[in-house]
Amino acid sequence: MLSPQILYNRTMVQLGICAFREGLIKDAHNALLDIQSSGRAKELLGQGLLLRSLQERNPEQEKVEKRRQVPFHMHVNLELLECVYLVAAMLLEIPYMAAHEFDARRRMISKQFHHQLRVGERQPLLGGKRRERTGF
């Protein structure tokens, strides 16, 4: 049986995705913020086991945790969830950054977005494969 917390988390994720689809970017960001900022989306949505050391688990605990999981065909696509969250964060963050460019006290709307932005700035831009020969 699914816990009420997992059902609530799954509902908030679906509401966030629906809000994004309808163009309600701030609402989408707010709905997805708690799940994405935790770094444990898989666990919070009942799509994976709790991360504990193997010594702490006994067979009974493992059975209970497996019962808490959602069947595979009902999983929420975690890549879609991350993508929707980051795009919503970008659409909120970029105008805010531009408006408060010289403000020393400006705050971050999304730490995860800033982390991805910094990682992207450090990596070189990679283009597609170059073909040695072009056919006529």
Query: Which residues lie below 8 Å from residue 112, measured CB to CB, with a gap of 6+?
Result: 36, 37, 85, 86, 89
**Under 8 Å between Cβ of 52 and 79:** no
Count of domains in the chain?
Answer: 1
> Using one digit for the tens of pLDDT, what is the confidence trace for 81-135?
999 999 999 999 889 888 887 877 777 788 888 888 888 888 877 766 766 666 6
Quick: pLDDT tens for 14-53: 999 999 999 999 999 999 999 999 888 888 888 876 655 5
Q: Give CA separation, 13 vs 48, 84, 111, 115, 134, in Å.
A: 16, 10, 19, 22, 47
- Is residue 32 one of the residues assigned to a domain? yes
Residue of 35, 6, 38, 32 whose CA lies nearest to 19: 32
Tell which phi-psi region holds residue 75, choosing left (phi > 0), alpha (psi between -120 and 50) or beta: beta
Which range of residues forms the domain containing residue 67? 4-91
CB atoms inside a 10 Å sphere around CB 135:
4
Cβ-based neighbour number of residue 61 at 10 Å? 13
Question: Is 10 part of a structural domain of the chain?
Answer: yes
Q: What is the pLDDT of residues 83-97, one digit of tens each?
A: 999 999 999 988 988
- Is the residue at 76 inside a domain? yes
